[in-house]
Structure 1
Amino acid sequence: MEKSIVLENLNFGYDKKILNNINLEITRGEFIGIVGPNGAGKSTLLKIIIGQLKPNSGRVKILENNGKDKSIGYLKQMNIEVGVSFPITPLEIVMLNLYNQMGLMKVPNKKIKNMALNALSMVNLQEKAYYNYNNMSGGEQQRVLIAKELVKNSNILIFDEPTAGIDQDSKELLFNILDHLNKKHNITIIIVTHELEFSKKYFNRILKLENGELKDYSEVNIW
């Protein structure tokens, strides 16, 4: 099986050790759930994987995808706002991640727009491409932000509590879309969640982080 992410002897902490000798291999196309008590270091672990934090020791290896550029999409906790009060559309938000492909004048051409529309179609929002993002539900906003990461051809998606603040129907729809992306496009997905009872059916594996240690539960039905 082709590896996607490898963590080797990761240690991290400030005055107190948060992560203690973490070792993990994630196979390409896995759908991983990470659980654990508040303050266990789950968000810290994600930030180390994406490179926002450096471990005190150990290393993270993000492996290439058959010659394709490696790309990680990351949605941080409670990130359902884009921080603007003026009208902006889902299409415009997704195109923000195509800025470097827009040429000298930075004006989106037909190809750029089609790439963004395709990403929105992957999260079932193509028909709302020109809606006002600020008037959309929390679940729809979250899906727009997923499309924003997909348009980069991300082969790894990492989420920190993606269902926080959205209703149950939106949670189910979000996970169904992620499950489809995982199965159809072989995208590796890692999710930190507190809602294991509802979401465990989607995961290949569940990892529990507690007291600085990461335990791997390969059989999700033990929960």
Structure 2
Amino acid sequence: MYRLEQVSKRYQDTTALQDISFSVGQGEIIGVVGKSGSGKSTLLRLLNLLETPSQGKLFLADKDVSKLSKKAIQQQKQKIGMVFQQYNLLNNLTVKENVALPLKLIGKKDEAKVVELLSFVGISHKADSYPVQLSGGEKQRVALARALTRNPDVLLCDEATSSLDEENTDDVIRLLQRIHEEFPVTIFFVSHELDTVKKLCERVLVMEDSHLLGIVDNQPTQLGKNDTPYLEKVKRRLAQ
């Protein structure tokens, strides 16, 4: 699915990513953890094809992104779904209209798909409501449904639970697990909340000061149980 080979990203005199290499297969759930400024957001922008590497190579579906035409890059972007910390819903559209928006932007209409996704995320009863009438957890369910409307190959979650309380965080994690079971999608879950990442992700990329410190195998588990020694070390490091 993705392969990065010695990728660096620089902005003038600032190095946001330095010599990053890893690969991710189709259908994996990957966590990305690190403090603010560690390079998580820049990595996500590269994966979302919003940025290109200053050095190194980024492959998506075995294609060198630097060699793709603008049209091909746009086609690849349509296969990537995004979920944001602040939901990014349009307040002047209903829940149903927000979910249908990605299809509308490419000139398509599929009301049955929208209804199906609203049911899948458990928000059908709010279809005609507006975002201002929803709780944070409900807004994130709408955002997840919207991200799935184009049947993406990749789902990028940028601090998707950071604005939620513990109960709603667990609800979103369970929903992401269901999405992974029922849709052929690769999930990147970017967060500074290591405990949340541990509940969901099979592998964890640990970022610090623009570098990839390591990749940790993880058996998704409940909070505080069966922690690997390395993840415990990472937890202490992030808390400093």
TM-score (norm 2): 0.79
Residue 79 of structure 1 deviates from its aligned partner by 2.5
Q: Which residue of 2 aligns with 1:90?
A: 95
1:74 to 82, 103, 115: 82
Residue 160 (structure 1) aligns with = 158
Aligned structure 1 segments of 4 or more residues deviating by more than 6 angstroms: none
Task: Report 1:118-197 matches (<5 A).
Answer: 118-197=116-195
CA distance in 1, matches of 2:125, 2:148: 17
**Kindly tell me: are residues 11 and 198 of structure 1, through their superposed partners in 2, closer, same or farther at Cα, counting changes over 3 Å?**
closer
Which of the numbers 15, 21, 25 marks the counterpart of 1:17? 15
Q: Deviations over 1:28-55 (max 9, x none)?
A: 1111111111101100100011111121
Q: What is the total number of aligned residue pairs between the two structures?
A: 205
CA contact (8 A) 1:175 1:199 kept: no
The one-letter code sitting in structure 2 at the alignment partner of 1:98 is L
CA contact (8 A) 2:32 2:204 kept: yes
**CA pair 166-201 structure 1, distance change in 2 beyond 3 A:** closer
Cα deviation, residue 212, structure 1: 2.3
Deviations 1:163-184 (CA, angstroms, capped at 9, x unpaired): 1221211110001000111122
Q: Secondary structure at the match of 1:177?
A: helix
Q: State the match for 1:217 in structure 2.
A: 216
- Where does the alignment leave 5 or more consecutive residues of structure 2 unmatched? 63-74, 220-226, 232-240
CA distance in 2, matches of 1:89, 1:208: 38
Query: Residue 132 and residue 203 in structure 1: after superposition, are their counterparts in 2 closer, same or farther (change >3 A)?
Result: same
Q: Is the 8 A contact 1:29 1:183 kept in 2?
A: no
Which residue of structure 2 aligns with residue 105 of structure 1? Answer: none
Displacement, 1:199? 3.5
Q: Distance in 2 between matches of 1:83 and 1:122?
A: 21
Q: Which whole-Å deviations, capped at 9, do the CAs of 1:68-113 have from their partners, x for residues lacking one?
A: x75111123x3224353x4x311101111111344xxxxx5xxx21
- 1:106-146 Cα shifts (integer Å, max 9, x gaps): xx5xxx21111112222222232122222101111111111
> Letter of the aligned partner of 2:164 in structure 1?
I
After superposition, the Cα gap between the structure-2 partners of 1:122 and 1:155, relative to the gap in structure 1 and judged at 3 Å, is: farther
Are the equivalent residues in 2 in contact too, given 1:120–1:144 (CA < 8 A)?
Answer: yes
Task: Find the aligned partners of 1:159 and 1:187 in 2 and give their Cα distance.
Answer: 12
Superposed, 1:34-53 pairs within 5 Å as 34-53=32-51
With normalisation by structure 1, the TM-score equals 0.85
Secondary structure of the 1:157 match is strand
